[in-house]
Structure 1
Amino acid sequence: MYVVNTPKGDVRMNVQEMIFEFIGGLGIFLFGIKYMGDGLQNAAGDRLKNILDRFTTNPFMGVLAGIFITALIQSSSGTTALTVALVSAGFMKLRQAIGVIMGANIGTTVTAFIIGIDIGEYALPIIALGALLLFFFNKRTINSFGQIIFGFGALFLGLELMSGGMKPLRSLEAFQDLTVSMSANPILGVVIGTVFTVIVQSSSATIGILQELFATGAINLKASLPVLFGDNIGTTITAVLAAIGTSLAARRAATVHVMFNLIGTLIFMIFLIPFTKFIGYLQVALNLNPEMTIAFAHGIFNVSNTIIQFPFIGALAWIVTKIIPGEEKYVDMTVQHLNPKLIEHSPSVALGQAKEEILRMGDYAKDGLAEAIHFLNTQDKSNAALAYQYEEAINKLDKAITDYLVEVSKSSLTSEHSEDHMNYMNIIRDIERVGDHTENIIELLELRTTRKAPLSTEALGELNEMFQLTLETLNHALESLAKNDLTLANEVLSKEVKIDRMEKDFRKTHILRLNQGACTGDAGILYVDVISNLERIGDHAVNIAQAVLGEQKAPQ
Structure 2
Amino acid sequence: MSNTVQILFGLFGGLAVFIYGMNMMSECLQKAAGEKMKAVLALLTKNPVLGVLAGALTTAVLQSSSATTVMAIGFVSAGLMTLPQAISIIFGANIGTTMTAQIIAFKISDYIFLIIFVGFLISFLSRSERIKNIGLTIFAFGLLFLGIDTMGSVMQPLANSPVFTELFDKVSDIPVLGVLTGTVMTLVVQSSSATIAVLQNFAIQPGADGVSSVIGLTGAIPILLGDNIGTTITAVLASIGQPRNAKRTAAAHCIFNVSGCLLFIWFIRPFAAFIQMISPKGPEVEVISRQIANAHTTFNIVMTLIWTPLLFVMVKLVMRLIPDKKEGEGDPAEPVYLDDRLMAQPAAALQLAAKEILHLAFLVGEQLHLTTGMVRRKEEGRPAAGIEQRERLKGLGGKITEYLSGLFSAGVLTEEQAAQTAGVMYLLGDVERMGELCVDVTLAIEDRDRRKTKYSKEAMKDLEKSLKVIEDMYGAALQVLTTGDEESARKIRKKKEKVLDLDIEMRKGHMDRVSKGKCATEMTGPLNDILHAVDRMGNCCVNIADAALDKVDLNYFNATGSPEELTAKE
Do the structures match in fold with TM over 0.5?
yes
Q: In terms of mean alpha carbon deviation, does 210-219 or 81-90 score higher?
A: 210-219
1:118 and 1:476, CA in 2 relative to 1: closer, same or farther beyond 3 A?
Answer: closer
SS in 1 for 2:215: coil
Could you tell me which of 133, 140, 151 is aligned with 1:144?
Answer: 133
Alignment partner of 1:432 is 2:361: yes
SS in 1 for 2:80: coil
Q: Is the 8 A contact 2:77 2:245 kept in 1?
A: yes
Could you tell me which of 297, 300, 308 is aligned with 2:298?
Answer: 300
Aligned-residue offset at 1:132 = 1.1
Report the equivalent of 1:128. Answer: 117
Trace 1:399-478 onto structure 2 (pairs within 5 A): 432=361, 434=363, 478=369
Q: Is the 8 A contact 2:74 2:339 kept in 1?
A: no
1:184 and 1:368, CA in 2 relative to 1: closer, same or farther beyond 3 A?
Answer: same
Aligned-residue offset at 1:315 = 0.7
Q: Which amino acid aligns with 2:90?
A: I
Report the equivalent of 2:223. Answer: 227
Q: Is the 8 A contact 1:496 1:542 kept in 2?
A: no
1:425-447 CA-to-partner distances (Å, cap 9, x unmatched) read xxx9xx52847xxxxxxxxxxxx
SS in 2 for 1:90: coil
Report the equivalent of 2:564. Answer: none
1:54-102 CA-to-partner distances (Å, cap 9, x unmatched) read 5344321110011111111110111111111111111111100111101
Counterpart CA distance in 2 for 1:281 and 1:387 is: 48
Aligned-residue offset at 1:498 = 6.1
1:432 and 1:225, CA in 2 relative to 1: closer, same or farther beyond 3 A?
Answer: same
Could you tell me which of 208, 215, 218 is aligned with 2:214?
Answer: 218
For normalisation by structure 2, the TM-score amounts to: 0.62
Trace 1:112-191 onto structure 2 (pairs within 5 A): 112-191=101-180
Counterpart CA distance in 2 for 1:501 and 1:256 is: 41
Q: Which amino acid aligns with 2:231?
A: T
SS in 2 for 1:117: coil
Report the equivalent of 1:250. Answer: 246
Counterpart CA distance in 1 for 2:136 and 2:337 is: 37
Q: Is the 8 A contact 2:338 2:353 kept in 1?
A: no
Residue identity over aligned pairs, in percent, reads: 36
Q: Is the 8 A contact 2:52 2:89 kept in 1?
A: yes
1:328 and 1:139, CA in 2 relative to 1: closer, same or farther beyond 3 A?
Answer: farther
Report the equivalent of 1:62. Answer: 51
Report the equivalent of 1:204. Answer: 193
Counterpart CA distance in 2 for 1:212 and 1:168 is: 13
Q: Is the 8 A contact 1:477 1:488 kept in 2?
A: no
1:328 and 1:27, CA in 2 relative to 1: closer, same or farther beyond 3 A?
Answer: farther
Could you tell me which of 45, 67, 92 is aligned with 2:81?
Answer: 92
Q: Is the 8 A contact 1:163 1:212 kept in 2?
A: yes
For normalisation by structure 1, the TM-score amounts to: 0.64
SS in 1 for 2:119: helix
Alignment partner of 1:316 is 2:289: no
Aligned-residue offset at 1:120 = 1.8
Aligned-residue offset at 1:246 = 1.2
Q: Is the 8 A contact 2:43 2:50 kept in 1?
A: no
Report the equivalent of 1:461. Answer: none
Aligned-residue offset at 1:176 = 1.1
Alignment partner of 1:550 is 2:467: yes
1:130 and 1:550, CA in 2 relative to 1: closer, same or farther beyond 3 A?
Answer: same
Counterpart CA distance in 1 for 2:196 and 2:28 is: 22
Q: Is the 8 A contact 2:337 2:355 kept in 1?
A: no
1:371 and 1:184, CA in 2 relative to 1: closer, same or farther beyond 3 A?
Answer: farther
Q: Which amino acid aligns with 1:551?
A: K
Q: Is the 8 A contact 1:88 1:247 kept in 2?
A: yes
Report the equivalent of 2:497. Answer: none
Report the equivalent of 1:487. Answer: 376
Report the equivalent of 1:522. Answer: none
Report the equivalent of 2:12. Answer: 23
Could you tell me which of 53, 59, 62 is aligned with 1:73?
Answer: 62
SS in 2 for 1:45: helix
1:456-511 CA-to-partner distances (Å, cap 9, x unmatched) read xxxxxxxxxxxxxxxxxx96853676xx785246x46x54776459999xxxxxxx
Q: Is the 8 A contact 1:186 1:226 kept in 2?
A: yes
Counterpart CA distance in 2 for 1:502 and 1:107 is: 46
Report the equivalent of 2:540. Answer: none
Q: Is the 8 A contact 2:196 2:224 kept in 1?
A: yes
Q: Is the 8 A contact 2:367 2:438 kept in 1?
A: no
Counterpart CA distance in 2 for 1:387 and 1:144 is: 27
Trace 1:297-376 onto structure 2 (pairs within 5 A): 297-327=295-325, 369-370=331-332, 372=334
Counterpart CA distance in 2 for 1:46 and 1:84 is: 20
1:16 and 1:55, CA in 2 relative to 1: closer, same or farther beyond 3 A?
Answer: same
Aligned-residue offset at 1:197 = 0.7
1:479 and 1:60, CA in 2 relative to 1: closer, same or farther beyond 3 A?
Answer: farther
Report the equivalent of 1:41. Answer: 30
Alignment partner of 1:275 is 2:166: no
Q: Is the 8 A contact 2:333 2:363 kept in 1?
A: no
1:356-413 CA-to-partner distances (Å, cap 9, x unmatched) read xxxxxxxxxxx874475xxxxxxxxxxx757989x988954976xxxxxxxxxxxxxx
Q: Is the 8 A contact 1:368 1:387 kept in 2?
A: no
Q: Is the 8 A contact 1:479 1:488 kept in 2?
A: no
Aligned-residue offset at 1:135 = 1.9
Alignment partner of 1:240 is 2:236: yes
Q: Is the 8 A contact 1:37 1:72 kept in 2?
A: yes
Counterpart CA distance in 2 for 1:187 and 1:92 is: 37
Aligned-residue offset at 1:224 = 0.3
Q: Which amino acid aligns with 2:64?
A: S
Aligned-residue offset at 1:211 = 0.9
Counterpart CA distance in 2 for 1:180 and 1:319 is: 38
| CA RMSD of superposed structures (Å) | 3.6
Aligned-residue offset at 1:551 = 2.8
* Uncovered stretches (5+) of structure 2, i.e. residues with no partner: 206-212, 341-349, 392-431, 446-462, 470-501, 507-526, 528-570
Aligned-residue offset at 1:207 = 0.8
SS in 2 for 1:65: helix
Q: Is the 8 A contact 1:63 1:99 kept in 2?
A: yes
Report the equivalent of 1:266. Answer: 262
Q: Is the 8 A contact 1:500 1:535 kept in 2?
A: no
Matched pairs, number? 396
1:499 and 1:275, CA in 2 relative to 1: closer, same or farther beyond 3 A?
Answer: same
1:503 and 1:479, CA in 2 relative to 1: closer, same or farther beyond 3 A?
Answer: closer
